Chain A
Amino acid sequence: MSVRQAIPQAPPKAPVTHARPRRRGGWRYAGTVALFLLPSLVPLTLYTLIPMVGSFWTSLHEWDLITEMRWVGLGNYIELVGDPDTRAAFLHTLYFIAGYLPLVYLGGLGLAVLLNRAMPARGLLRGVYFLPVITSWVVVALMWKWLLNPASGIVNWALGLVGVSGPGWWTDPDWAMPSIILASAWKDLGFVMIILLAGLQAIPREYQEAAMVDGATAWRRFRHITLPLLSPSTFFVVVISLINGFQVFDQVQIMTGGGPGGATQVVVSQIYDLTFRYGRAGAASALSWLLFALVLLVTIVQIRGQKRWVTYG
């Protein structure tokens, strides 16, 4: 293959007319941009910005959804900071992330590397592993709830066949969070896989070939070429998964409802209970803002820290 052929021809330059200068910062340009932004700006304003302002306002009040709001200033925030249930909810959320993140990343990476090789039915397999990502959480959570049913689930039945007495999964406080982590990682593996697969395919073969000529082993090539060049994809996946991890809710609500004995009560289920069970929309809004602040902080730290480990080819 000749190198010359690979260089694309530069497009012919547009004739420059001095009659109508086009400045990128001009009013016309700004107007065009505004028009294109408008379709997404409207729902963003209606369903994100206005509710955010509303929730901040609510967080400064005591409100049971049926009576008039009562101003309490920062009372809700002060109460939440000293509240053991809130602390427990944050701890449970961090526990979830600590289990979920490594599992979903390493699992997704393994799948991506495997499915990047030439193999039969590769396209089908990629589709199959991606299927849970687009499946509703209700379906996935109910399915795992049945699979992991301590008394009649197939997992404990299979364990019984090899002489292992299976744990109480979501009825045992020690096993409830691992059950949820397992189901969550299973569902999101496909997402991580797809992103990393795209990242893998963007790595030029020449680098691998050059390393091979130099006699690098498969592990060294993976460690010193693939992983560094995959780091932008890794960075993206980690940021997204962390944010998702902080917002874990659907699977918890369906699989355990925060139980047993509050062992899986995470921040968002606490927000839900405060609003809809206990009529404390103000405290719930304050907790939402605390969660937002934490996620923002963590994401800023990540973006600052990316310079140290993210390599752009």
Chain B
Amino acid sequence: MSRHIKITAAVAAAALLATACSQGSATRGTTAEAGGKVTLRYFTFSAAPDHVKDLDTIEKAFEKENPNVDVVVETAPFDQYFTKLQTSIAGGTAPDTFELNYENFVTYASAGSLLDLATVAGDNDTSVYAQESLNAFKRDGKQYALPASFSTVVLFYNKDLFDKAGVPVPTADWTWADEQAAAEKLTDKKKGVYGDFQPVQFFEFYKTLKQAGGEFLSADGKKSAFNSPQGVKAATWLVSKVGKTMPTEAEVGGTADYDTNLFKSGKLAMWHNGIWQFAGLKDVPFEWDVVVEPGDAAKASAVFHNAVAASSTTKHGKEAWAWARFLSASGTAATTRIRSSWELPPVSDQQVLSGYLKDPKPANRQAVFDSLQAIALPPVIKRQQEMQDAVTKELSEAAAGRKSVEEALKAAATEVDALLG
């Protein structure tokens, strides 16, 4: 009899072990309540590495106003962020609140993984928000996320390199042709200096396409429309820089933040990038400034929106809403973002926004607001990532000279149409 008991005990121990393991991972998702305090998890990509302290400032202020809530911040770099978010949702350990960008918002909202914030909202005063930002995160009339910040892409330039080469610095009137002529004069491959850097990928393409006067999708959104003369023009513009005024893929060699480092080391004259780079460029040993991106047939600047959403599975909806609200609309959040040049708060109060212009660097901060006058929003479809990958892949083929621009666009259009169909 005793041997049976032993076996039973061993099996029971194993079973216990198994349940202990699965519980161990589950308890990480639910919030532990100690002394009536609510732990609220927040997952973000935009804070690290330059703005962790700024987020900390906002968090401390929030916890002072809401002493029963303890916000726990988790960060991941953008290129790993959505993989981690998706896996944690699938694994039942979704963070209570998390950041979403506009391109991915649609996917998450239509998947039912976001909490309708109206059901937990403390008050419905939406006048603090810039209305177009607020509406961007509405779906089927429901507010699934609150806009937290927005940013635009501008043309950064190294003033010292321009002065040394005797080339007049970029102005708001510049077109592609001006940019190209300057880039050619500024490129000095012997010294490792490049005139221009604009990544050949989906996000630059949809924007330059709009600058060329084209559209990415047909009006009804059911077919691709970029395989057009304007599309060819835009793609040619991007591809023609590679190896001439811009390093090739082989020269970049897969190095992370290659362009950031190139610009910071004073070896890049013009750089197409977002205003989130301002803080990181504070201490570079040369003069730099920004200007609205040159256009072609039209001006068009890329605008990126980030928002805070709450998981539909959170047990702390009210607290989640309060945190989302604080992060997006509070005075602390807005002034912290502005003071540290951490993107822009989507608030309606122009007084707050004008504070952004007080910072002396870069001198032409007005360009950030000017760029908002003609914007290009990224096309969003259900199979977003596959579309982005397909377009980037075909453009890279053209950039490496393995396909003509026409062939690449035709192939990309076929793939995107298949994704839409």
Which of B31-39, B64-72, B108-116, B264-272 touches A?
Answer: B108-116
| Residue A252 is within 8 A (CB to CB) of chain B in the complex | no
Q: Report B370 CB to chain A, min CB distance, Å.
A: 35
| A67-B113, A259-B396 known; A145 vs B86 contact (CB < 8 Å) | no
How many interface residues does A have (CB within 8 Å)? 33
Query: How many Å lie between the Cα of A45 and that of B89 in the bound state?
Result: 24
- One digit per residue, 1 when the CB lies within 8 angstroms of any chain A CB and 0 when it does not, for chain B 227-253 equals 000000000000000000000111101
Q: Among the listed A68, A276, A278, which residue makes an inter-chain contact with B383, where contact means beta carbons less than 8 Å apart?
A: A278
| Residue A171 is within 8 A (CB to CB) of chain B in the complex | yes
Q: Report A33 CB to chain B, min CB distance, Å.
A: 11
Q: Among the listed A42, A145, A146, which residue makes an inter-chain contact with B18, where contact means beta carbons less than 8 Å apart?
A: A42
Query: How many Å lie between the Cα of A46 and that of B24 in the bound state?
Result: 14
**B111, A42: Cβ atoms under 8 Å?**
no
Residues of B within 8 Å of A38, CB to CB, are 10-11, 14
| Residue B160 is within 8 A (CB to CB) of chain A in the complex | no
Residues of A within 8 Å of B393, CB to CB, are 259, 261-262
Write the chain B residue with the least CB distance to A148: B253
Q: Report B242 CB to chain A, min CB distance, Å.
A: 12
Q: Among the listed A34, A41, A67, which residue makes an inter-chain contact with B111, where contact means beta carbons less than 8 Å apart?
A: A67
| A67-B113, A151-B250 known; A35 vs B7 contact (CB < 8 Å) | yes
Write the chain A residue with the least CB distance to B110: A67
| Residue A282 is within 8 A (CB to CB) of chain B in the complex | no
Query: How many Å lie between the Cα of A149 and that of B90 in the bound state?
Result: 38
Q: Report A256 CB to chain B, min CB distance, Å.
A: 9
Residues of B within 8 Å of A41, CB to CB, are 14
**B253, A65: Cβ atoms under 8 Å?**
no
Residues of A within 8 Å of B112, CB to CB, are 67-68
**B87, A65: Cβ atoms under 8 Å?**
yes
| Residue A99 is within 8 A (CB to CB) of chain B in the complex | no
Q: Report A63 CB to chain B, min CB distance, Å.
A: 8
**B402, A35: Cβ atoms under 8 Å?**
no
| Residue B17 is within 8 A (CB to CB) of chain A in the complex | yes
- One digit per residue, 1 when the CB lies within 8 angstroms of any chain A CB and 0 when it does not, for chain B 74-115 equals 000000000100110110000000000000000110011100
Residues of B within 8 Å of A34, CB to CB, are 7
| Contact count band on B | 20 to 34
Query: How many Å lie between the Cα of A153 and that of B385 in the bound state?
Result: 32
| Residue A152 is within 8 A (CB to CB) of chain B in the complex | yes
**A276, B83: Cβ atoms under 8 Å?**
yes
| Residue A168 is within 8 A (CB to CB) of chain B in the complex | yes
| Residue B285 is within 8 A (CB to CB) of chain A in the complex | no
| A35-B10, A38-B10 known; A64 vs B111 contact (CB < 8 Å) | yes
Q: Among the listed A68, A262, A276, which residue makes an inter-chain contact with B86, where contact means beta carbons less than 8 Å apart?
A: A276
Residues of A within 8 Å of B191, CB to CB, are none
| A65-B87, A261-B396, A261-B397 known; A28 vs B14 contact (CB < 8 Å) | no
Q: Among the listed A146, A171, A262, A276, which residue makes an inter-chain contact with B250, where contact means beta carbons less than 8 Å apart?
A: A171
Q: Report A62 CB to chain B, min CB distance, Å.
A: 12
Interface-central residue, A64, A150, A262, by most chain B CB under 10 Å: A64
| Residue A173 is within 8 A (CB to CB) of chain B in the complex | yes
Query: How many Å lie between the Cα of A64 and that of B384 in the bound state?
Result: 13
Q: Among the listed A28, A65, A259, which residue makes an inter-chain contact with B90, where contact means beta carbons less than 8 Å apart?
A: A65
Query: How many Å lie between the Cα of A250 and that of B51 in the bound state?
Result: 32
| Residue A260 is within 8 A (CB to CB) of chain B in the complex | yes
| A34-B7, A38-B14, A259-B396 known; A150 vs B250 contact (CB < 8 Å) | yes
**B90, A281: Cβ atoms under 8 Å?**
yes
Q: Report B327 CB to chain A, min CB distance, Å.
A: 22
- One digit per residue, 1 when the CB lies within 8 angstroms of any chain B CB and 0 when it does not, for chain A 3-39 equals 0000000000000000000000001100100110010
Q: Report B415 CB to chain A, min CB distance, Å.
A: 10
| Residue B386 is within 8 A (CB to CB) of chain A in the complex | yes
**19 extra interchain contacts, Cβ-Cβ under 8 A, other than A67-B113, A151-B250?**
A28-B3, A31-B7, A35-B6, A35-B7, A35-B10, A42-B14, A64-B86, A64-B107, A64-B111, A65-B89, A66-B89, A145-B253, A152-B253, A259-B393, A261-B396, A262-B393, A277-B386, A278-B385, A279-B107
A-B contact pairs, 10 of them (CB 8 A): A28-B3, A46-B18, A46-B21, A64-B111, A145-B253, A149-B253, A260-B400, A261-B397, A278-B385, A279-B86
